[in-house]
Structure formats: C-alpha cells, structure tokens
Amino acid sequence: MTLLLVQILNGVQLGLLLFLIASGLTLVFGVMDFINLAHGVQYMIGAYLGVACAGLAGNFWIGMLVASVIAGIVGLVLERCVLRFLYGRDHLDQVLAGSGVILATNELVRVIWGDAPLQMPMPALLAGSVPLMDGMRYPVYRIALIAAALIVAAGLTFAVGHTRAGMLVRAGASDAVMVRALGVDIGRLFTLIFGIGAMLAGFAGVLAAPLVSIEPSMGDNLLILAFVVIVIGGVGAIRGAFVAALLVGLTDTLGRSMATDAAKAVLSASASARVGPAIASMLIYIVMAAILAVKPAGLFPARA
C-alpha cells in the first residue's frame, strides 16, 4: 500500500513539473498561435543557470531566485531577437526555426559547461527525508517541490482567472484577432505571456536540478512530454494543462512501476522484462491516442 503511495506521490511530482513547463507552452500556443519548440531548452537553461547561480552565490535559494529571473530574461531576449519575427508565419517555419534554436542552444550549453553531467547540491534545509514506510524514507525536497509547484499553479490559475491581464489572456486564447480588433496592445500581451512562460519553464528546471542529471539535451524529451500534455489537455487552457499534466505524470510513473509486473501475469519473466518496459514507455502515447480518438480536440480546449 505504501508502495502505491510513493508511486502516486512521484507521479504527482512529475505531473506538476510537467505542468510548469506545459502551462507556458499552451498559453503561447493558444494566444499567440506560436509553436515554441524552444521551450524545452528554456527548462535546460533554468537547470544550468541554477547550478551556476547557486555555485556563485553559495546559496541554493538565492541561486534559484536569480536563475529563474535570468531564465526569464534569456527567454525574452530569445523572443525579441529571433522568435518575434515568426509570429504570423506558418507553423512549419516556426518548427524549423525552433529546431534550429534547440540544436544551437544544446551545443552552446555543451561548449560552455562541457558534456559531462553536472550536479546540483540540495539545499541543506530540505536535504532530509521523512519516513513513509518501513525502511523507506521519502525525500523532503520532493514534498517541497510538490508544494512549490502547487503554489505556483494556484497563483497562475488565479492570475489567469481573476485578473485583467488574465482575462485578456483567456480572451486571446479564445479569439486573438478579436482581441486585437478591440484595441488591446497585443504586442505587450505576447511579451508578457512569453516571458512568464519562459520563467516558469526555467523555474521548473531549477526545481528539478537537484533531482536529475543536468546535461545537454535534457529538455528535449520533456518537451515532447509537454506537448503530449497540452494536446491531451486542450490547447490554450490552463485547467486542461493541469489535469493533463497530472494524468501524464501519474500514467508514466505508475505505468513504469507496474507494467513489467502486469506483464508477468501473462508472459515469462524474461519476456516480460522486455515487453514491460516497452509498454511502459509507450503508455502515455497510447493514452494520448485513445483520448484523441474520442475527443479529437483534447479534454478542455480553449477555442470554441
């Protein structure tokens, strides 16, 4: 039973991390109709900056704060110098340019920090663990991560749902042309959305840094997962992204831990050792395909 609890906690944690990344992605796509492939490298930059800033400041918290802000700034610079020329362009052009950004940024990170994975030391305050079950302790940091992500998620939902800027964002996601026609400075709105999205992704990177291996291309697979999340959740919807992110996080985590065991019920041990992990990897895609088969526009699409 406690095994299941641990898996569920881990699934929620992965889901929340995905939500932080996917929320920026879905808003940018929903409001600005812009496929931002560069979002994955945003996460990676957050992690690397986290290591760098924490190292320079000698303190995790300062490092995290500074890194998130700088990541947001890097995102804005990227937007201003490269990506803004692609608004209104064909999605395919955005994909091509985004691919170029990914390739160049991954390589740049490699040039600056080298190929070997880096490590980010955990803050002393959160380095302990709490006993969850006999002999198994659950790291405090992960609990803190869940809490932090939930707070940010709540803040984001509130901002989008109950502020004027948030109202414009929702309106933009629903019908961007109309919003512009109503005289709203759409350029500033775009910049705001982009910057916040970039900062969220960078923040997610810093949060995840002590837990994962920090290396070039670390954002690529998460980018794919983030796209799965926004497609399942429905483009442009924060609520959809939240539900979908948790779904993906839980499916992936629980799937990985149970697939092989489930396979053992029908196959031999060595066969299930092969089939199990394959199915575990496929699981989120199967779920996504199934959801799209029934609801081709996702669970909670913002567009009418």
Partner 1 sequence: MRDRAAPIAIFAAFVLVPFLPWGGAYNLAVALMARAAVFGLAALSLDFILGVGGMVSFGHAAFFVIGAYATTILDANHIDGAAPVFATAAIASAFFALVTGAVALRTRGVNFIMITLAFAQMVYFAAGSLADYGGDDGYTLAARTTLLGRSVYYWMCLAILLTAYLLCRRVVASRFGRVLRAIKQNRRRVQALGFDAWMYQLVAYVIAATLCGLAGVLLANSAEFVSPAYGAWQRSGDLLIMVILGGAGSLHGAVVGSIAVVLLEEVLGRFTEHWRLIYGPLLILSVLYVRGGLAAMSAGRPGYLGRDF
Partner 2 sequence: MIRRVFLTLAFLAAIAASASAQSPVRIGVIATLSGAAASLGTQLRDGFQLGVDTLGGKLGGVPVAVSVIDDELKPDVAVTKIRNLLDSEHASFVVGPIFSNILQAIFKPVTESDAILISPNAGPSTYAGRACNSGLFVTSYENDQIHAVMGKVAQDKGYKRVFLLAPNYQAGRDAINGFKSAFKGEIVGEEYVPLNQLDFQSELAKIAAAKPDAIFTFMPGGLGINLVKQYRQAGLSNIPFLSNFTVDESVLPAEGDAALGFFTGADWAPNLDNPANKAFVAAFEKKYGYVPGSYAAQAYDTALLIDSAIRGAGGLGGKTKLEAALEKADFKSVRGNFKFGVNHYPVQDFYLAQVAKRADGKYETEIREKIFSNDVDPFAAECKMK
d(CA 93, CA 15): 30
Q: Interface with partner 2 by CB under 8 A: which range of 81-89, 180-188, 189-197, 249-257? A: 249-257
Contacts of 51 (CB under 8 A, 6+ apart): 63, 118, 119, 120, 209, 214
Q: By CB under 8 A, is residue 141 in contact with partner 2?
A: yes
Q: By CB under 8 A, is residue 20 in contact with partner 1?
A: no
Q: Among partner 1, partner 2, none, what binds residue 251 when CB lies within 5 to 8 Å by partner kind?
A: none
Q: By CB under 8 A, is residue 104 in contact with partner 2?
A: no
Residues 83-102 close enough to bind partner 1 by CB under 8 A? 85-86, 89-93, 95-97, 99-102
Q: Which is nearer to partner 2, 20 or 235 (CB)?
A: 20
Residues 130-189 close enough to bind partner 1 by CB under 8 A? none
- If you ran DSSP here, which 8-state letter would residue 137 be given? E
By CB under 8 A, name the one of 62, 77, 111, 150 that touches partner 1: 111
Q: Interface with partner 2 by CB under 8 A: which range of 34-42, 57-65, 169-177, 268-276? A: 268-276
Q: By CB under 8 A, is residue 146 in contact with partner 2?
A: no
Size of the chain, expressed as the number of residues it contains: 304
Measured from the Cβ of residue 72, the count of other Cβ atoms closer than 10 Å reads 22
Nearest to residue 50, comparing CAs of 69, 73, 78, 77?
69
Nearest to residue 79, comparing CAs of 36, 43, 41, 50?
36
Q: By CB under 8 A, is residue 62 in contact with partner 1?
A: no
Backbone angles phi, psi at 118, to 5 degrees: -100, 165
Q: Which is nearer to partner 2, 10 or 42 (CB)?
A: 10
To partner 1, the closest distance from the beta carbon of 105 in angstroms equals 7
Q: Interface with partner 2 by CB under 8 A: which range of 78-86, 97-105, 114-122, 157-165? A: 114-122
Q: Interface with partner 2 by CB under 8 A: which range of 36-44, 115-123, 148-156, 287-295? A: 115-123
**Measured between alpha carbons, how far is residue 116 from residues 71, 109, 206, 214, 215 in Å?**
22, 11, 18, 9, 7
Nearest to residue 52, comparing CAs of 191, 209, 165?
209
> Burial letters for 243-264: b for 16+ Cβ neighbours within 10 Å, e otherwise?
bbbbbbbbbbbbbbbebbeebe
Helices first, then strands: H and E counts in the chain: 11, 2
Q: Are 6 and 132 in contact (CB under 8 A)?
A: yes
Q: Which is nearer to partner 1, 97 or 246 (CB)?
A: 97
To partner 2, the closest distance from the beta carbon of 38 in angstroms equals 20
What is the pattern of x (binds partner 2, CB under 8 A) and - over residues 206-235? ----xxxx-xxx---x--------------
Q: By CB under 8 A, is residue 277 in contact with partner 2?
A: yes
| Residue that is written with structure tokens 């831990």 in the block | 257
> Burial letters for 123-147: b for 16+ Cβ neighbours within 10 Å, e otherwise?
beebeeeeeeeeeeebbbbbeebbe
Contact positions vs partner 1 (CB under 8 A): 29, 35, 82, 85-86, 89-93, 95-97, 99-108, 110-111, 220, 224, 227-228, 230-231, 235, 274-275, 277-279, 281-282, 285-286, 288-289, 292-293, 296-298
Contact positions vs partner 2 (CB under 8 A): 3, 6-7, 10, 14, 110, 115-119, 121-122, 129, 133-139, 141, 210-213, 215-217, 221, 253, 256-257, 260, 269, 273-274, 276-277, 280-281
